[in-house]
């Protein structure tokens, strides 16, 4: 369902609801993220340096992949109108240029007093977890 500028209202959310968002990481994405964030760590932007690292080649910024979780939550589930309260992240494996990152989120619980929703968050590449975490979001109620 396309909700346009309105995401799910708090009252519509329940445990077990889930959604996903996929994006293939490009070299341009890595350079754009470096420019936006100021993180020019050579493991991300210098092939010669990265080849000599433990990763044996360039890797994407971990927070670039984590941003796909933000895209999923802010645009799909719960969608527009929600805001982050917190997000935990555990980086499990590197993401490389050309990898397709599949961000997934599932509603774990809802807190009616605070209008908070707790969600399990996960990013996978080729079915393998690269980021695991949990998000808490503030979600608007019906007007």
pLDDT digits (tens, 9 = 90+) for 8-46: 999 999 999 999 999 999 999 999 999 999 999 999 999
What pTM does this model have? Answer: 0.92
What percentage of the chain reaches a pLDDT higher than 90? 94
Structural domain includes residue 45: no
Residue 95 lies in a domain: yes
Expressed as residue numbers, the domain containing 128 is 10-25+60-138
In the chain, the number of structural domains is 1
Q: What is the CATH number of the domain that holds 116?
A: 3.10.129.10
Under the banding of pLDDT at 50, 70 and 90, the label for residue 7 is confident
Give the pLDDT band (50/70/90) at residue 6. Answer: confident
Is 127 part of any domain?
yes
Q: Which residue's entry shows tokens 């917190």? A: 86
């Amino acid at each position: 369902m396309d909700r346009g500028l309105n995401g799910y209202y708090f009252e519509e959310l329940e445990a077990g609801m889930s959604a996903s968002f996929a994006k293939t990481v490009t070299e341009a994405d890595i350079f754009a993220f470096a420019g936006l964030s100021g993180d020019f760590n050579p493991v991300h932007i210098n092939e010669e340096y990265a080849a000599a690292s433990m990763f044996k080649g360039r890797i994407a910024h971990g927070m670039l992949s984590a941003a796909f979780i933000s895209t999923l939550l802010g645009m799909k589930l719960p969608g527009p109108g929600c805001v982050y309260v917190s997000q935990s992240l555990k980086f499990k494996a590197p993401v490389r240029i050309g990898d397709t990152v599949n961000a997934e989120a599932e509603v774990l619980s809802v807190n009616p007093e605070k209008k908070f929703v707790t969600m399990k968050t996960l990013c996978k590449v080729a079915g393998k977890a690269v980021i695991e975490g949990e998000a808490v979001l503030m979600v608007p109620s019906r007007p």
